[in-house]
Chains A and B, each alone.
Chain A
Amino acid sequence: MQKSFIIKRILYAFFIFLIVMTLNFFIPRIGVSDPAERYYPPQGNMTEIEYEIIKQVTREQYGFDVSTVQQFINYVDGLLHGDLGTSFQPGNPKVSHLIAERLPWTLVLSVTNLIISLFIGLIIGTIAAWKRGRWQDTTLLNLSTISTALPAFFIALILSFYLGFEKELFPAYTNPNMVSQFDWSWESIKVVMYNAALPIISMSIGGIIGYGQGTRNAVIAVTNEDFILTARAKGLSRNQVIFKHTLRNAMLPIVTSLGMSISGLIGGAVIIEQIFNWNGMGTLFLNANNTNDYPLMMGVMLFMSAFAIVANLVTELCYSLLDPRVTVGERR
């Protein structure tokens, strides 16, 4: 991999981040003339002057009293110091603190889901490609059409109804004490696993089938290449052809879809978190949205976008490491 290629990609990712950051700053300011007014709707027993004072104090406290350009400069300055702003929530916690608090809980769900989906999906996909055209393959194909048409939140509702309420196997709602009582002891880890079971299952059904179908298609696409014919003509066994020649080359498209999953790790579980009342980034974001907490909303948005940009960058670099043709193409 050439150095210039890496530098170019990093600079480009930074450029995209700058654009996203600017959009992130200006979009709420186009829609809302006065964030303070949206956050504190006028109360009945308040006189006009009192309300004006409250709004003025809020504006000064959160830095909305200066011109938009000055606000933007302050915002960028804050970002450079790792400050995503101050939330409107009582106690005025820092947005970065709130994110740091919630992030691990979302990652518990999404990373476990990704690992399960990828692992089982790879196995299922390879089997389907191996037994091409037989029942294993057609079942996977039919399942993938069905699971794409079934939204994950519907699966989650069904599971929470059947396994949560009817069979009472797993909790249908997350235990609210789970977060506050977590202390890395084996007991509390078991509680988390018990509570996370349903969200993870409902997320990973679609993931497993998706990765399965992706792997199957990738493997079959590679089987049509000339070097596989050569390998078979050399007299290699079927297993050797599949594991040494086919799977290795089929990794390329899988790495790409893996990159996409990774960029969606934080923002992808919003609805599932909402259904199971899981204490993660999704519920943080939805609550911020419901209470018109603009600094928190935009802070979470920026964090999610930045995460996606970094994930994309890493995927691109990995891809060019795996497939040098990409870097060659860049030189043209």
Chain B
Amino acid sequence: MKIKMKKIGITIGKKIIAIFKGVGRFIAKLWRHPKGRIGLIIVTILIVSAVFAPLIAPFDPYDVTQRAQKGLSPSWNHLLGTTITTGQDIFSMLIYGTRVSLAVGLITGITLAFLGAIMGIIAGYVGGIPDTLIMRTVDVMLVIPTLPLTIVLTNLFGKSYLMIIFIFVLFGWTGMARVIRSLVLVLKNANYVKAAELAGASRWHIMIKHILPGVSHLIIMNTALTCAGIMVAEAGLSFLGLGDPTAISWGKMLAEAQSGGALLFGHWWWIIAPGIGIFLSVFSFMRIGLVMEEVLNPRMKQSSNIYKIFKNLNNQYLDEVFAGMDEKAILGIQTTKEGERV
């Protein structure tokens, strides 16, 4: 019994080391790509400032006793000045705002990718009734306007970031599921999957061991892009005052700047600062997502244009058309090289 436990411990340890090695190699690959390097650097800065916000920020924006004079212009003491309404240090608010943006973006992106991937693989591989059910749900969710619905739901069930994350996950997995499903439909007919089926492998085994690795590059890439999209959406919701009213976020800073008279008094730094925060975080995640597409699957490079267009498709049977078009690239059948094109 003891030996068995030990063995399990060793295998788990090895798995963890393997995962770390994989992540390390992956980061190294990103680093070697010039565009990926920019994204990586910005994300590192963002994560550091989110984690060590109390150390970096010169003032604590939540602390009412630390409020300075109202409406100060940028100076060495207050790098980005203070707000007109409350006298909070804008630079400190900017640093603390990273926390909300990153937390909401990352948690939502990863959960959503998980759910979307599972749904997509089941819909694509199992087919039949599960496929119909999942795709009908996707169709319904696609026509409901997301922003108004989110506004209604936060009004009904309380304003908090947990609620926002929940709503984003609930309505965001559909896009991911469509993309994954269309690729799974192609992989399903690949020879190695057919071989595994003939050898008597169970559905779960095939889905986890054969299908999942085949779509993993798409999942990782889409996760990064989804994180970026969610960050914009979160900023918009906070701007409308639907986030947690006590938290400091970039969207809320923008709303305060607008209502607090930043436009009127010409305090442009109060608007630019959170805007640049949003821009940098979204930009870096997008960059990483787009670079991942090239790094993880060099074959995909040739068809990436078709991919980007069809990724946003709203039309259910176009999935099949799309699958047919990309079949050559995915299965590695020879395609013309970039240079030979017209």
Q: Which A residues are closer than 8 A to B by beta carbons?
A: 16, 19-20, 23, 27-28, 30-32, 145-146, 148-151, 153-154, 157-158, 160-161, 164-166, 172, 214, 217-218, 220-221, 223-224, 228-229, 232, 253, 256-257, 259-260, 263-264, 266-268, 270-271, 274-275, 285-286, 289, 292, 297-298, 300-301, 304-305, 308-309, 312, 315-316, 319, 325-326, 329-330
Tell yes or no: B48 within 8 A of A by CB. Answer: no
Does B145 lie within 8 Å of A31, measured CB to CB?
no
Q: Once the chains are docked, how many angstroms separate the CA of A150 from the CA of B272?
A: 12
- Which B-chain residue is minimally distant from A274 (CB atoms)? B240
Tell me which of B49-57, B185-193, B260-268 binds A: B260-268
Does B310 lie within 8 Å of A253, measured CB to CB?
yes
- Which A-chain residue is minimally distant from B35 (CB atoms)? A145
Interface residues of B in 140-185 (CB under 8 A from A): 140, 142-145, 147-149, 151-153, 155-157
In the complex, which residues of chain A have a beta carbon less than 8 angstroms from the beta carbon of B100? Answer: none
Q: Once the chains are docked, how many angstroms separate the CA of A68 from the CA of B198?
A: 54
CB-based closest 9 A-B pairs = A31-B156, A267-B145, A149-B282, A149-B283, A154-B275, A308-B143, A253-B309, A217-B305, A304-B145
Does B314 lie within 8 Å of A260, measured CB to CB?
yes
Does B148 lie within 8 Å of A148, measured CB to CB?
no
Does B342 lie within 8 Å of A228, measured CB to CB?
yes
Tell yes or no: B239 within 8 A of A by CB. Answer: yes
Tell yes or no: B218 within 8 A of A by CB. Answer: no
Does A297 lie within 8 Å of B152, measured CB to CB?
yes
Does B283 lie within 8 Å of A292, measured CB to CB?
no
Mask: chain B, 222-258; 1 = CB below 8 Å from A; 0 = not: 0000001000100110011000000000000010011
Tell yes or no: B23 within 8 A of A by CB. Answer: no
Q: Given A154-B254, A157-B275, answer yes or no on A172-B144 (Cβ-Cβ < 8 Å).
A: no
Tell yes or no: B279 within 8 A of A by CB. Answer: yes
Tell me which of B64-72, B116-124, B202-210, B315-323 binds A: B315-323
In the complex, which residues of chain B have a beta carbon less than 8 angstroms from the beta carbon of A218? Answer: 309
Does B143 lie within 8 Å of A20, measured CB to CB?
yes
Q: Once the chains are docked, how many angstroms separate the CA of A221 from the CA of B326?
A: 11
Query: Within the complex, which residue of B157, B257, B263, B315 is in contact with A319, where a contact is CB–CB below 8 Å?
Result: B315
Q: How far is the CB of B182 from chain A (nearest CB, A)?
A: 13
Tell yes or no: B287 within 8 A of A by CB. Answer: yes
- Which A-chain residue is minimally distant from B281 (CB atoms)? A149
* 17 A-B pairs whose Cβ atoms sit less than 8 Å apart in the complex: A19-B140, A145-B286, A151-B232, A154-B235, A158-B272, A165-B266, A223-B342, A263-B314, A270-B240, A271-B239, A285-B148, A292-B155, A308-B143, A312-B142, A312-B314, A316-B315, A329-B317
- Which B-chain residue is minimally distant from A313 (CB atoms)? B143
In the complex, which residues of chain B have a beta carbon less than 8 angstroms from the beta carbon of A16? Answer: 139-140, 143
In the complex, which residues of chain A have a beta carbon less than 8 angstroms from the beta carbon of B257? Answer: 157
In the complex, which residues of chain A have a beta carbon less than 8 angstroms from the beta carbon of B282? Answer: 148-149
Does B286 lie within 8 Å of A267, measured CB to CB?
no
In the complex, which residues of chain B have a beta carbon less than 8 angstroms from the beta carbon of A30? Answer: 156
Does A308 lie within 8 Å of B145, measured CB to CB?
yes
Tell yes or no: B93 within 8 A of A by CB. Answer: no
Q: In which size bucket is the chain B interface?
A: 35 or more
**B contacts with A: majority SS:** helix
Tell yes or no: B341 within 8 A of A by CB. Answer: yes
Mask: chain B, 296-318; 1 = CB below 8 Å from A; 0 = not: 00000000011011101111011
Q: Once the chains are docked, how many angstroms separate the CA of A106 from the CA of B101?
A: 30
Tell yes or no: B95 within 8 A of A by CB. Answer: no
Q: How far is the CB of A234 from chain B (nearest CB, A)?
A: 13
Q: How far is the CB of B304 from chain A (nearest CB, A)?
A: 9
Does B152 lie within 8 Å of A301, measured CB to CB?
yes
Does B148 lie within 8 Å of A275, measured CB to CB?
no
In the complex, which residues of chain A have a beta carbon less than 8 angstroms from the beta carbon of B308? Answer: 217
Q: Once the chains are docked, how many angstroms separate the CA of A164 from the CA of B263?
A: 9
In the complex, which residues of chain A have a beta carbon less than 8 angstroms from the beta carbon of B143? Answer: 16, 20, 263, 305, 308-309, 312
Q: Given A151-B232, A260-B312, answer yes or no on A267-B341 (Cβ-Cβ < 8 Å).
A: no
Query: Within the complex, which residue of A221, A305, A330 is in contact with B309, where a contact is CB–CB below 8 Å?
Result: A221
**Given A161-B262, A221-B309, 14 other A-B residues pairs in contact with their CB atoms under 8 A:** A19-B140, A30-B156, A31-B156, A146-B279, A148-B286, A150-B275, A151-B232, A161-B271, A165-B264, A217-B309, A263-B143, A268-B147, A297-B155, A308-B144
Does B156 lie within 8 Å of A27, measured CB to CB?
yes
Does A20 lie within 8 Å of B286, measured CB to CB?
no
